[in-house]
Amino acid sequence: MFFRILSKDIRRKKTMNIIVLLSAALCLPMTSLCMDPIFGMLGISYGLEYDIRPLQVFLLLPLASMAETAAAAGLTSLYTLKIKASDTSDIE
């Protein structure tokens, strides 16, 4: 049983690594494909050079986004009032 779980975990990690590498490889072509027409409508007729910093794009920004979401959810849960059953009896 342990080896079955371990093999599934290893397979899952390999799959995640493949997905991360594929997304990193497609990052610049997809950015060019999606953003060049928008900048073209704004009047930029020559090509743009995109400066993608992998550490910032793939690590720092997602971590900052997750931390901000966790902080907002935590603060919201602190200020949410608890509703008792007796409070719901006179709701119309």
Q: Tell me: pLDDT of 28 over 70.
A: yes
The number of domains in the chain is 1
Q: Are 52 and 82 in contact (CB under 8 A)?
A: no
Domain-located, residue 83:
no
pLDDT in tens, 41-78: 888 877 678 787 888 888 899 899 999 999 999 998 88
Domain-located, residue 69:
yes
Per the model's pLDDT, the better-predicted residue between 77 and 8 turns out to be 77
Residue 86 CB contacts under 8 Å (≥ 6 apart), including other chains: none
Contacts of 57-64 spanning 24+ positions with Cβ under 8 A: 57/27, 58/20, 58/24
Domain-located, residue 44:
yes
Q: What is the pLDDT of residue 66?
A: 94
Residue 64: domain span: 2-77
Domain-located, residue 11:
yes
Q: What is the mean pLDDT of residues 29-36?
A: 84
